[in-house]
Each structure stands twice: as structure tokens, then as C-alpha cells.
Amino acid sequence: MAETTREPETTSTVRASELRANMATAVMVGLRLLNFGPVLILVLLVVAISLLTPNFLKPVNIGNILAQTAVIAIVAMGQQLVILTRGIDLSVGANLALATVMGGLVYRATDSAPLVILAMLGSGMLVGFVNGAVYVFGRLPHPFIITLATLSICKGLALEFSVNHTTMRGMPAAVTVLGETSWLGVPNSFFVVLGVALIVLVLTKSMVWGRWTYAVGGNPKAAVEMGIPYKWVLVSTYMFAGLCAGIGAVVLSGRTGASSPLYGNLLELDTIAAVIIGGASFLGGRGHLGHALVGAVMIGVIRNALNLLNVDVFYQMIAIGLIIVLAVEADVLRNHLEGRARASQAARNQ
């Protein structure tokens, strides 16, 4: 900056500054590539898989992928907000299971779809509230422990409450319709994903609340100093993650026409993986719903492809694990490159 006041440069410093400018450009290009990395990898995956197996791109199969991805995608959007605030929610899977059981119990008493849905959403949100409130007001150092505790508690409650401690058949027609395909082979659950995405988009991009979640994730200490009610921001974030688990419960119950304490097994790992694979930062403060969606679709695509190719389930797990390592390393690399970008800014200012 301030080029006008700069001393006349000799040829060697000109060359040095040129080199520095090139380095800075390289760093910026690298950062941009990293930002688009997950989408790029997804596109490459789709191309590679469709070459390997022609069934992959058939409309029926794409409909399958969308239906199978819907629950992960919905719950991952809640998980993404929690990770954005430097947290983690291990309870989402068990929370979802408990929510379906609650819905199932209400269904045994009444056929009313609104009441069944309300029970699932309410149960999910309540668990989320407990997570957030105990984490914040119980002054826990990290949400890992409390959400691990609620994982166990929800699982136990779901087993206890469900009749015969197992799957209960039956859901109102207005819920099972979510498991059907109505329009151009697109599963109805896909529209629920779109709806949740729209809500998240408004919450994070247009509302003060969303700005605060980014602030809390970016610099918690500064958030306090700037007068942001960070405790309530955190509690509401966990509540929203719980609500997403409840919505996921409605969609899953709709697809299966049942409720079960066994649902949502390992969903916490799938959603965390989706968020990280999608390109959000595990360190907090970075990420948007696109990351959760891309990551969820990537997991869905990998599972589906390996199924079509008759690859064993445990290779799927290994593949997803390897991709997580890759994604986390990409995050580390991004932080490193940002440091370089900062340094080159400072150099240009001198």
C-alpha cells in the first residue's frame, strides 16, 4: 500500500517484490481451490462412478440416493451450526431415535399427524435444550461430555418407552407420504431437505442470530466483550440441532412407516463426517449449510456407489474414514495458507 511514498526500488528489490506478489497470488489461488475442493471432489466422484457403473446415473438410483441422504442432510445442517460455534453434538442419533419413539407412542393414542409430528419435533428440541443448557449453565469445558451423556440417556429412554423395546409399526398417512416419490421421481423427503435448508439460510445469512453464531465460533472471548448474549446463542444453537434431529425423525418414520429405538445408530458420526468432509472448519467459525449438504451427498454417493459395485460395507467405512482425514488436513492447510496470506499483506504494507 501507499505506493506513492515508496522509495525508488533497485532491480533486485523489484524482482523480490515480484516474487512476493507471485507467492501471494499462489496462496490466494490455493485458498480458493480449497474452498471449492469438496464440490470438485464430489463432481469427480460422480463422473468416475458413472463411468464405472452405468446404473449410477439412472433417475431411479438418483432418487434412491436423495432419499437415503435426506436424514443425514437434515441432521447435518443442525450439526453444522453446532460445529460452527466450536461445539459438537454426539446425541443427534439417539435424539432422533427417542423422537421417533415419542411419535410412535402418540400415534398409538391418536391418528392425528400434527400431534405425532409435534411430539417428534418437541422431543428433539427438548433434548437439544438440555444439551445447551447443561453445557452453558453447568459451565462445562466442552459440549462433548454432555452430548455423550444425552446420547446414552436418549438411547435408554427410547428403549424403555418403546413397546416391547423394539420397533413399533404404523405412522399417520401425512407422515408416510414423506417416504413416497411424487414428482419426477424426486422423493418427497428431498423437499423437506430444501425447506430446512431455506430456514437455515435465512437464520444464518439474514438474521442477527446467525451473525452471532459466527461471532461466537470465530472468537468466543470477543463475543462476550462485544456484548453478544453468547450463552443464549449457544443454547439456541443446540436447540436447533435438536429440532433438526426431530425433523430427521419425521422423515425417517415417514420412509419406514414405523418408529424404533434402534434408528439413528451412528448418525452422529455420519453428520459430523458430512460437515467436515463438506469443508467446514472443525475449529469453528467457518462453514455454511452448503458444506453440510455437499458432505451429506458425498457420503450418500460413496455408499450408493460401493453398493452398486458390490463392495463390502466395511470398505465403505474405511473410505469415509480416509476422506475425513483428508478433509481435516485440508482444513489445517487452509489455516496455514491464511497465515501466509496475512504475512504477504504485511510485507506489502511495509
Binding mask 229-248 toward other proteins (x if CB under 8 A, else -) reads: x--xx--x------------
Q: How many residues bind other proteins (CB under 8 A)?
A: 36
23 binds other proteins (CB under 8 A): no
Q: 155 vs 286, which CB is nearer to other proteins?
A: 286
Which residues, numbered 181-220, are part of the site for other proteins (CB under 8 A)? 206-209, 211-212, 214-215, 217-219
CA distance 329 to 104: 42
224 binds other proteins (CB under 8 A): yes
221 binds other proteins (CB under 8 A): yes
Q: 184 vs 208, which CB is nearer to other proteins?
A: 208
The amino acid at 292: A
**Nearest by Cα to 23 from 31, 12, 331, 328:** 31
CA distance 276 to 324: 7
For cell 418403546, the residue is 162
Q: 219 vs 265, which CB is nearer to other proteins?
A: 219
Four-CA torsion 199, 204, 207, 209, nearest 10 degrees = 110
Query: Which residues sit opposite 183 in a β-bridge?
Result: 186
20 binds other proteins (CB under 8 A): no
What angle is formed at CA 208 by the lines to CA 276 and CA 129, rounded to 5 degrees? 65
Select the residue interacting with other proteins from 222, 266, 318, 322 (CB under 8 A): 222
300 binds other proteins (CB under 8 A): no
227 binds other proteins (CB under 8 A): yes
223 binds other proteins (CB under 8 A): yes
Kindly write down the DSSP assignment for every residue of 220-284, as one continuous string. Answer: HHHHHHTT--HHHHHHHHHHHHHHHHHHHHHHHHHHHTEE-TTTTTTHHHHHHHHHHHHT--TTS
22 binds other proteins (CB under 8 A): no
Phi/psi-derived region of residue 185, left when phi > 0, alpha when psi is between -120 and 50, beta in every other case = left
Q: 2 vs 60, which CB is nearer to other proteins?
A: 2
> How many C-beta neighbours within 10 Å does residue 17 have?
14
For cell 466483550, the residue is 225
345 binds other proteins (CB under 8 A): yes
Its sign, for the CA torsion 121, 122, 127, 133, is positive
Binding mask 325-344 toward other proteins (x if CB under 8 A, else -) reads: -------------x--xxx-
286 binds other proteins (CB under 8 A): yes
Select the residue interacting with other proteins from 285, 291, 292, 293 (CB under 8 A): 285
CA distance 158 to 251: 18
CA 334: distance to chain centroid? Answer: 19
Which residues, numbered 68-87, are part of the site for other proteins (CB under 8 A)? none
User: Whole-number minimum distance, CB 224 to other proteins, in Å?
Assistant: 7
311 binds other proteins (CB under 8 A): no
User: Whole-number minimum distance, CB 211 to other proteins, in Å?
Assistant: 6
User: Whole-number minimum distance, CB 335 to other proteins, in Å?
Assistant: 9
Its sign, for the CA torsion 85, 156, 251, 328, is positive
User: Whole-number minimum distance, CB 284 to other proteins, in Å?
Assistant: 9
- Residues at the contact surface with other proteins, assessed by CB under 8 A: 1-2, 206-209, 211-212, 214-215, 217-219, 221-229, 232-233, 236, 285-286, 338, 341-343, 345-346, 348-350
